[in-house]
Structure 1
Amino acid sequence: MARAERSRPEAARGLLLAAVAFGALLNPLNSSMIAVALPAIARDFRVPIGRLTWVVAAFYLASAVGQPVLGKVADRLGRRRVFFTGLVLVAAASALAPHAPTLGALVAARVLQALGSSALYPAGMAAVRDAFTGRTGQALGILAVFASTSAALGPSLGGFLVKTGGWQALFYVNFLPVALSLALAGRAFPPGGAAGGDPGGTGPGGVAGRKPGNGDPGGVAGGGPGAAGAGEAAGGGPGAAGLGGVTAAGAGHARRPRSSAARGARAAEGAGGLDLPGMMLFGGTVVAGLVALLSLSEPRPAWWAVPVAVALGLALARREGRVKAAGGEPFLDLEVLRRDRARSAVYGAWILSNLAFYTIFFGMPAYFEEVRHLDPGQSGLMMLSVAGFSSVASPLVGRWVDRAGHRPALWAAGLSLLGGALALLALGPAAPLPALFAVLAFLGASNGVNNLALQAALYRFVPREETGAASGLYMTCRYIGSILSSSLLGILLGGPLGSAMLRELALALLVPAAGLLLFIRWIPARARAYEPARG
């Protein structure tokens, strides 16, 4: 009887993990498989293929902004609500896009698709972290397999779908994972309010509170005696709110503004206490910055976007500082990022890791086809070494991280990246294909290890009620790294491609590899109280 009682929560956790996995694969799948459909889309809309840049770029930009914003919304308004809304948006976009009358309408549908899929990862990760206390590494490993495999197989699946059903089939295929995720989430997704709360036990503003006497450091303030506030848990002292943290005083009573500045800060917030102006400034800063990066490989870069990004960034920093000083809750607590070196180092390491990974992922096919004269099928088989070993490494590393902590895995990944770059440099332009396959497999495994270890580290340095916003910002760093790699490859591949290309790619990897090791040094080994190191 007791064993049956224990098996029911275990089964519910398994269903939850499956629901999140099917939802989380939608963003990487749709970001990768669209590439093979661009020629067909250009023919249907009778436009040059160069005009389709925004079909791809709009998805990246909307995802880069949407993930941290919707993660914050999930922290405040409830993970279940945001997750289900994301699935509905993806389904709606997938139904509308195939019937888009104009290219602009297709881009708009892609933006809607990106926003919907962006809601799924941070909301789902927050729910998984709540359910898998002490075993986060294993859960992350399973989710990483779904995400990395869908991204790797996206071009192959996309090519098959375009050949058999036209480019419209790329959108119809989303209905299967959406339906599976909806069915599983309906049975297993925890009900109730926002982060850290007992089901149904919400405090002011719909934010879940702990039961009286609960001393969980990840709890939300206001749940009764002994409940630690988000800011206090983050190291900012009593009442200081971290990224996504909830500030409260006493048992269930929200802190009242004590000045006109505080009242102004509260008045600027929207439903659920969300810092809407801060979100808009953050979105503008990211979009302007990424537009500048995306244009670096073009004949006329968008230099105008640089001062726009700087101006919006300064305005964001000033506003968020004023909101916090007035007793409000900023969307992006820059003071926490400045003070919390561990969290900032994780974000920096993830940017560099993705810069290296996507430089290989998109650069090596050009080398194989243009320099070694392999056909696309042979090139794809060679690149399976990168994605395949990245997927294989993820679940294995999850158990390792749960047992030994994140730091050994981080050092292994960082040194493997550096070793792989040096191996490519040593192989030379006439390297045998089996040797290149082995080195690429080594680099792919390094990426899988790094992804799992960095996520595990992040969740050990972030209060539980901030998981959604922190996960979203983590994924924004992924897009920044991928766009940096696109700009770098635009420069490297801008001229005639020759035998020196492999050496140039290897040299380009050395810079992020060295920077990654530096960031790893800044990530502490010991876990905080937010996430147990062992299950």
Structure 2
Amino acid sequence: MVLGSVLNPLNTSLLAVALVPIGVAFGAPPSETAWLVSALYLACAVGQPVTGRLIDAYGPRRLYLLGTAMVGVGGLLGAFAPHLGVLVAARVLIGLGTCAGYPASMSLIKRESSRTGQASPASLLAALSFANQVVAVVGPSLGGLLVDVGGWRAVFTVNVPFAVACLVLGALHLPREPRPAPGTARVRRRWDLLGIGLFTVALVALLLFLMDPAAARLWMLGLAVAAGAGFVLRELRAAEPFLDVRVLGQNRPLLVTYARQLLTGVVMYSVVYGLPQWLEHGRGLTPSQTGLILLPMFGTAMVGTVVTRKQRGVLGRLLLGSAMQLAACVALLAVHGSTPVVVLLVIMALFGLPQALNGLANQNALYDQATPDQIGAASGLFRTFMYLGALTSSAATASAFREAADTSGLHALAVFAAACAALLLATVVAELLLRRRSR
């Protein structure tokens, strides 16, 4: 389960330090290589809830095996891609394939919890969160090593052994769906294809606008709103809705968790993708050197998860995590071209701990707030909000580094990330005050 779920954050962060070498190899400007990031974001944001819904209907094993096979094929396609267009297609295939790992894992944990009566498998959830957070943080460092050793194609080839391992382990150990009893008619499921289509149109239009926000592209935002409204109306009338918006609307805590996941994603990906560009262009570092500077995030994220893995509290973690995240963003405002490396390492270490705290808190909240029969779709939607945050940060990074990845652009990006961290902190403080008043 852990190995399958980390394929998504691995491919999200692994490419961060390979964009510049890929652009040089194909003679492509940053505006074109950015599609390698955006293509995976789009595929994952749309594919996560759809795959989660399929997992709720057909069980996690089938989708897990199919998804990891797609990741292996996408890795091979990228390893031999003759031009940038094929490379983008490989990223889409990898993105869709990685959609199954996390919701399948959450579904399996929830089912096992119901079977055994253990309502709060804190250590298991911590292991899942820890693996995802650590891989997301260590991805740029691993990517820098792979680029230096095997060239940029190695960041695609590495998916093949991971996919093979997932297929072998999944085939051997993941439980099969129980066969229907003799004489029992199979349940015929009606798939809400119209609902899925409207959801896809709304999300893709929104994401395309976020990737390049401009007055001339406001029609995409209008299309997203119209398709979103049509999706809600469709789901209210559908006999078997793709996403039960009534249940979702009544679950206010889950909606708040989604919003916090979005804000967490904005701050995290602003650092994971924005800072490496500044380090390579503004400081002239190599991909491997850039990866090493980001490495302290791995250490503090690991410590934060290990120390708090058995605690079930959500708001306490979020309060500390969002406050530290805000402090780290403010610290970036003091960074300039001659800042000592040791200062950069301290700031990176400061970023790692809140990623662990916020990620684990949001995941625990999701696990407690989602119903067992909708845990797959809810987990997929949880990841979708993370990618909405990632694309928002991508748009902010492109705006901040419009001319070049210079120090003034880094400071503009830090201000934006600090505003999102402050908003996350405000939601936690507001809920703490409401709970205190209610008591």
TM range (shorter): 0.7 to 0.9
Give the TM-score normalised by structure 2: 0.85
Question: For 1:202 and 1:363, how far apart are their aligned partners in 2?
Answer: 58
What residue number does 2:263 align with?
A: 352
Corresponding position: 1:415 with 2:330:
no
1:103 deviation in Å? 4.2
Corresponding position: 1:146 with 2:138:
no
1:78 deviation in Å? 1.1
The alpha-carbon distance between structure 1 residues 279 and 167, as it changes in their structure 2 partners (threshold 3 A), is same
1:56 deviation in Å? 2.7
What residue number does 1:519 align with?
A: 427
Secondary structure in structure 1 of the residue aligned to 2:242: coil
Contact 1:137 1:452 (C-alpha < 8 Å) held by counterparts: no
Considering only CA atoms, is the larger Rg found in Structure 1 or Structure 2?
Answer: 1
Alignment of 1:460-471 (within 5 A): 460-471=368-379
What residue number does 2:402 align with?
A: 494
Gaps of 5+ in 2: 434-439
Opposite residue 311 of structure 2, the aligned amino acid is: W
Contact 1:77 1:206 (C-alpha < 8 Å) held by counterparts: no
1:225-273: CA deviations, max 9, x gaps?
A: xxxxxxxxxxxxxxxxxxxxxxxxxxxxxxxxxxxxxxxxxxxxxx633
What residue number does 1:398 align with?
A: 309
Q: Root-mean-square deviation (CA), in Å?
A: 3.2
Gaps of 5+ in 1: 1-19, 194-198, 208-270, 526-535
Secondary structure in structure 2 of the residue aligned to 1:329: coil
Opposite residue 293 of structure 2, the aligned amino acid is: M
Structure 1 range deviating more: 386-395 or 305-314: 386-395
1:357 deviation in Å? 1.6
Question: For 2:259 and 2:184, how far apart are their aligned partners in 1?
Answer: 35
1:345 deviation in Å? 0.2
1:130-153: CA deviations, max 9, x gaps?
A: 235434332222223332333333
Secondary structure in structure 2 of the residue aligned to 1:190: coil
Question: For 1:412 and 1:202, how far apart are their aligned partners in 2?
Answer: 55
Question: For 1:420 and 1:143, how far apart are their aligned partners in 2?
Answer: 25
What residue number does 1:182 align with?
A: 167
Corresponding position: 1:94 with 2:75:
yes
What residue number does 1:11 align with?
A: none
Alignment of 1:126-525 (within 5 A): 126-132=107-113, 133-192=118-177, 272-296=189-213, 302-323=217-238, 328-368=239-279, 377-401=288-312, 405-424=313-332, 433-495=341-403, 504-520=412-428
What residue number does 1:229 align with?
A: none
Question: For 2:320 and 2:96, how far apart are their aligned partners in 1?
Answer: 34
Opposite residue 395 of structure 1, the aligned amino acid is: V
The alpha-carbon distance between structure 1 residues 432 and 322, as it changes in their structure 2 partners (threshold 3 A), is same
Question: For 2:306 and 2:99, how far apart are their aligned partners in 1?
Answer: 23
1:67 deviation in Å? 0.6
Question: For 2:406 and 2:12, how far apart are their aligned partners in 1?
Answer: 29
Question: For 1:312 and 1:398, how far apart are their aligned partners in 2?
Answer: 41
What residue number does 1:266 align with?
A: none
Number of aligned residue pairs: 428
Question: For 2:43 and 2:314, how far apart are their aligned partners in 1?
Answer: 30
Report sequence identity in percent. 35
The alpha-carbon distance between structure 1 residues 503 and 294, as it changes in their structure 2 partners (threshold 3 A), is closer
Opposite residue 144 of structure 1, the aligned amino acid is: S
Contact 2:144 2:291 (C-alpha < 8 Å) held by counterparts: no
1:282-315: CA deviations, max 9, x gaps?
A: 111111100000013x8x8633311211111111
Contact 1:192 1:201 (C-alpha < 8 Å) held by counterparts: no
Contact 1:22 1:178 (C-alpha < 8 Å) held by counterparts: no
1:202 deviation in Å? 11
1:75 deviation in Å? 0.3
Contact 2:180 2:186 (C-alpha < 8 Å) held by counterparts: no
Question: For 2:21 and 2:357, how far apart are their aligned partners in 1?
Answer: 37
1:76 deviation in Å? 0.8
Opposite residue 335 of structure 1, the aligned amino acid is: R
Question: For 2:82 and 2:367, how far apart are their aligned partners in 1?
Answer: 44
1:500 deviation in Å? 5.3
1:29-70: CA deviations, max 9, x gaps?
A: 222323444455556656556433333322110111001110
The alpha-carbon distance between structure 1 residues 184 and 413, as it changes in their structure 2 partners (threshold 3 A), is same
Question: For 1:446 and 1:192, how far apart are their aligned partners in 2?
Answer: 38
What residue number does 1:76 align with?
A: 57
Contact 2:23 2:29 (C-alpha < 8 Å) held by counterparts: yes
Question: For 2:357 and 2:54, how far apart are their aligned partners in 1?
Answer: 29
Question: For 2:408 and 2:28, how far apart are their aligned partners in 1?
Answer: 35
Contact 1:393 1:448 (C-alpha < 8 Å) held by counterparts: yes
The structure, 1 or 2, with the larger RCO (C-alpha pairs under 8 Å, 6+ apart) is: 2
Contact 2:305 2:356 (C-alpha < 8 Å) held by counterparts: yes
Contact 2:56 2:374 (C-alpha < 8 Å) held by counterparts: yes
What residue number does 1:21 align with?
A: 2
Opposite residue 276 of structure 1, the aligned amino acid is: L
Contact 1:144 1:391 (C-alpha < 8 Å) held by counterparts: no
The alpha-carbon distance between structure 1 residues 501 and 305, as it changes in their structure 2 partners (threshold 3 A), is closer
Question: For 2:426 and 2:369, how far apart are their aligned partners in 1?
Answer: 18
Contact 1:161 1:170 (C-alpha < 8 Å) held by counterparts: yes
The alpha-carbon distance between structure 1 residues 167 and 189, as it changes in their structure 2 partners (threshold 3 A), is same
Question: For 1:400 and 1:339, how far apart are their aligned partners in 2?
Answer: 27
Contact 2:210 2:392 (C-alpha < 8 Å) held by counterparts: yes
Opposite residue 320 of structure 1, the aligned amino acid is: E
Secondary structure in structure 2 of the residue aligned to 1:494: coil
Question: For 2:315 and 2:102, how far apart are their aligned partners in 1?
Answer: 24
